[in-house]
Amino acid sequence: MTLLHWAILSPFLFAVLIPFLYKACRPVHTGWFVLLLPVALFSYFIQFMPITRDGNEIKETAQWMPSFGIDFIAYIDGLGLLFALLITGIGSLVVLYSIYYLDKKKEQLHNFYVYLMMFMGAMLGVVLSDNLIVLYMFWEFTSISSFLLIGYWYHRERSRYGALKSMLITVFGGLSMLGGFILLYIMGGTFSIRELIAQSDQLMTSALFIPALILVLLGAFTKSAQFPFHIWLPDAMEAPTPVSAYLHSATMVKAGIYLVARMSPIFAETSLWLWLVGGFGIFTLFWGSFNAVRQTDLKGILAFSTVSQLGLIMSLLGVGAAALHYAHLDDNIYLVATLAAVFHLINHATFKGSLFMVVGIIDHETGTRNIRKLGGLMSFMPITFTVAVIGAFSMAGLPPFNGFLSKEMFFTGMVRVLEMDIFSLDTVGILFPVLAWVGSVFTFIYSMILVFKTFTGEHQPEKLEKKPHEAPFGMLISPIILASLVVVFGFFPNILSERIIAPAVAAITPSLVEEGHAIETHITFWHGFTPELFMTLGVILFGILLYQLLPKWRKIYSWIPERLTLNSMYDGGLVLGERAAFSFTRGYMTGFIRSYLVYIFVFFIGILMFSLWFKGAFTINTDELAPIGIYEIAIALLLVISSVTILFAKSRLTSIIALGAAGYTVSLFFVLFRAPDLALTQLVIETVSVALFLLCFYHLPKLSRHEERMKFKLENALISIGVGVVVTLFAISSYSTKLFDSISSYYIENVYEEAGGKNMVNVILVDFRGFDTLFEICVLAIASLGIYSMIKLRLTRRKEG
């Protein structure tokens, strides 16, 4: 593996060391050691910026399972580098913030930082993997690690609920996405994203193309909290604030955005992609901003604002797909949506990260996040207030902050939809600018609520758990840095344009780059008196009016019955699912082993007989059968007699002796077939088994009359005969039908040369099937430990009794 591979895996490796660092350096906050890794990774990735700026890419391959087309291919282009810098850069600030936010005496810091490093490594793997299966593996790692982070305060019921909710929804999406990846492999014959993009024209002609598109989008929508899957994100706010700042500003929720951007070159030229991505995105923008206004918890406002902002970016990626249909034009006017998506992605990470940290400071210093209890904090927390104003005004799209620039570009992209004469956008497309404007009005309102309901108005010290004061400087460093970036990127946006934005846009629209289209990314404040400017003025004026009249129209939120909300439906679905599962399980879990054997054997008979019939696989070929001698016949009759004796014996001792006779008879077959190793193994196993059976059954009571006179059951006899018949038919068919050459010749040729052994059976078990043998030993070891633990527990209980 190369240095790039180790950079991706380093957070996982470092996570192993954290518990030891936690114990060895207790006087020092563990976060100081953890901080070194994201800073080092950010420094490492930033060196690739000149490479991607020049249109070049980095691709490093580490073979994993090449026979299955699965290799760990680390790939850096403009899009991957952008996300890698966000993951490590914001990650560094979050770790620094957590050092002052989390008390080393009260919190289990080793667990927190282990989960955080796992999550960072998983996100790096998602955005820097070219192989779809490897990407999926890291994708599910993000679900697992975010589950652990959200449920970090596991003693709180709401934390456990939020963690489980996020896990169920995102894992459902992840499994759907895996199905889409498999369909892409069936169509394109490769798991490589680069190679699939090169075949996009051919893939579009396949009948599996649309199902693959829908399944991939399910994964993206669930992870990036698009309507109606957004319901997990507000409950995820039960996590510690550093986790919320990291997951919901720059990482987990952006994974779905990344997936849509990465897969756009494959799917973007279809109308379904534009309408699903753009349509769900623009409605999520409206729905998230509309519901953010009704929240009274500061984190709740930020949660729904994140849903809203993710919808904004998603809608831009959907509309930006239309640019591929205007590739013949020299004008880049239709690329503005994709440019805005990338720019707002960066801006959202800066202002949303700072706002989450501000809310964490307020909670930390006052003991509450409820805006009904807050107010008048500006005089107590002037620095925090300043950071909050910068972040909130940027989120509202006000000048001179970076959010204003990307919001103007967002409006431009939505207005351009009306000029497109494809996919009915010139008619139905009016919904895009309308919902964009309405959503922006609500965005303005909740941004003002966030600032003015918290920092202005009447101070209510009697409702606060703590006396408010400014946070320690260490806790302010990270939000101040992010707020500074908001201002810097607002005044000097072209710092990013050529270095970060243009390479990312080129990665999303590779076909335009191949055709020689230059991507113009120069960003300016003033574009004249355009419709976008008047839309912004309308947002501000109408937003101020609605904010002032908020108490009068806020009652509309009570019009929606609670039982009809998506959260209520989710909870009701879980309850119904649990009840159905309980009823179903209670029906077949009888507590009797014989019942479970009936299920297993009936399924065994049905599926194997169906396979033989469906494939027409049953054949009989006696050409190569060896002659059957008198010894084989005699031993076979002995085996049948001993087996039947077990069934009809009236004492356990007789059954055990008959069982041992059957086993020893099988060992005689091995002797006749010249397999002394197997014969010796069988003899040892049978001797030990018979001894153990005799030892156990000696202590059991004698058979009752009822047990001695057990009735004959026809269904049991039919199942027994069926199993025997099916196994016999399969044995005959497998011997008679040779679909490929036997592997025995390979072993004969390579046992001595490759493994240096003369005993073929031993070499196969130890070398060629070494992992199989190792896992069998592991299973036995686990079983032994389990038995030992149960015996130990029973002895302990006896002593206590």
- Over residues 538-560, mean pLDDT: 90
For residue 448, name the pLDDT band (cuts at 50, 70, 90).
very high
- Give dist(CA 351, CA 481) in Å, integer: 10
| Residue 75, pLDDT score | 93
**pLDDT exceeds 70 at position 244:** yes
**pLDDT exceeds 80 at position 513:** no
- Give dist(CA 277, CA 311) in Å, integer: 9
Domains identified in the chain, total number: 3
| Residue 384, pLDDT score | 94
User: How many alpha carbons fall within 13 Å on the CB side of residue 452?
Assistant: 10
How many CB atoms are closer than 10 A to CB 726?
A: 18
Three-class DSSP category at 152: coil
Counts for the chain of helices (H) and strands (E), in that order: 36, 2
Q: Specify the DSSP class assigned to residue 129.
A: B
| Residue 34, pLDDT score | 93
Examine residue 166 and state whether it is found in any structural domain, yes or no: no
For residue 218, name the pLDDT band (cuts at 50, 70, 90).
very high
For residue 120, name the pLDDT band (cuts at 50, 70, 90).
very high
Closest C-alpha among 114, 116, 106 to residue 18 = 114
Q: Specify the DSSP class assigned to residue 456.
A: S
- Give dist(CA 36, CA 23) in Å, integer: 18
What separation in angstroms does the CA of 695 have from each of 411, 451, 688? 82, 77, 11
Q: Which residues contact 213 (CB under 8 A, 6 or more apart)?
A: 180, 267, 270, 272, 273, 276
For residue 477, name the pLDDT band (cuts at 50, 70, 90).
very high
Residues 646 and 511 in one domain: no
| Residue 332, pLDDT score | 54
Examine residue 544 and state whether it is found in any structural domain, yes or no: yes
- Over residues 210-229, mean pLDDT: 94
Examine residue 339 and state whether it is found in any structural domain, yes or no: yes
Residues 605 and 467 in one domain: no
Q: 300-359 pLDDT, tens per residue? A: 999 999 999 999 999 999 988 877 666 544 445 558 889 999 999 999 999 999 999 999
| Residue 748, pLDDT score | 82
For residue 707, name the pLDDT band (cuts at 50, 70, 90).
low
| Strand 70-76 relative to strand 58-65, pairing | antiparallel
Q: How far apart are the first and last CA of the chain?
A: 58
Higher pLDDT, 229 or 717: 229
Query: What are the phi and psi torsion angles at 778 (to 5°)?
Result: -60, -40
| Residue 335, pLDDT score | 80
| Residue 799, pLDDT score | 61
| Residue 330, pLDDT score | 46
Most confident of 120-134, 660-674, 711-725: 120-134
User: Among 739, 760, 792, where does a domain finish?
Assistant: 739
Residues 515 and 648 in one domain: no
Examine residue 53 and state whether it is found in any structural domain, yes or no: no
Q: Contact at 8 Å (CB) between 684 and 713?
A: no
Examine residue 798 and state whether it is found in any structural domain, yes or no: no
Residues 378 and 510 in one domain: yes
Buried b or exposed e, range 197-234, using 16+ CB within 10 angstroms:
bbebeebeeeeebeebbbbbbbbbbbbbbbbebbbbbb
User: Among 663, 684, 707, where does a domain finish?
Assistant: 707
Examine residue 468 and state whether it is found in any structural domain, yes or no: yes
- Give dist(CA 162, CA 369) in Å, integer: 18
Q: Contact at 8 Å (CB) between 405 and 493?
A: yes
Q: Contact at 8 Å (CB) between 466 and 366?
A: yes
Note the pTM of the prediction, 2 decimals: 0.83
Residues 436 and 496 in one domain: yes
Residue 72, beta-bridge partner list: 62
Examine residue 747 and state whether it is found in any structural domain, yes or no: no
| Residue 518, pLDDT score | 66
Residues 311 and 391 in one domain: yes
Residues 703 and 713 in one domain: no
| Residue 252, pLDDT score | 87
| Residue 329, pLDDT score | 46
- Give dist(CA 669, CA 585) in Å, integer: 43
Render 412-448 in DSSP notation, one character per residue. HHHHHGGG--STTTTTGGGHHHHHHHHHHHHHHHHHH
Q: 151-173 pLDDT, tens per residue? A: 999 888 999 999 999 999 999 99
| Residue 55, pLDDT score | 85
Tokens of 726: 């099916």
Q: Which amino acid is at 799?
A: K
| Residue 517, pLDDT score | 66
* Residue 73 parent element (H or E): strand 70-76
Three-class DSSP category at 134: helix
**pLDDT exceeds 80 at position 89:** yes
Render 484-545 in DSSP notation, one character per residue. HHHHHHHH-THHHIIIIIHHHHHHH-HHHHHTT--------S---S-HHHHHHHHHHHHHHH
| Residue 215, pLDDT score | 96
Examine residue 744 and state whether it is found in any structural domain, yes or no: no
Render 357-405 in DSSP notation, one character per residue. HHHHHHHHHHS--BTTT----TTT-HHHHHHHHHHHHHHHT-TTSHHHH
Three-class DSSP category at 167: helix
**pLDDT exceeds 90 at position 144:** yes
User: Among 532, 548, 564, where does a domain finish?
Assistant: 548
**pLDDT exceeds 70 at position 440:** yes
Residues 689 and 724 in one domain: no
Residues 613 and 653 in one domain: no
* Residue 723 parent element (H or E): helix 714-736
Q: 728-763 pLDDT, tens per residue? A: 888 888 777 776 777 778 888 888 877 777 777 778
For residue 586, name the pLDDT band (cuts at 50, 70, 90).
confident
Residue-range definition of the domain harbouring residue 399: 278-322+333-548
Most confident of 35-39, 588-592, 611-615: 35-39
Q: Contact at 8 Å (CB) between 9 and 138?
A: no
- Give dist(CA 197, CA 324) in Å, integer: 14
Tokens of 47: 């060196």
* Residue 64 parent element (H or E): strand 58-65
Residues 512 and 649 in one domain: no
Residues 607 and 637 in one domain: no
Residues 665 and 727 in one domain: no
- Over residues 68-79, mean pLDDT: 91
Q: Which residues contact 115 (CB under 8 A, 6 or more apart)?
A: 145, 148, 149, 152
For residue 232, name the pLDDT band (cuts at 50, 70, 90).
very high
Tokens of 737: 């039908």
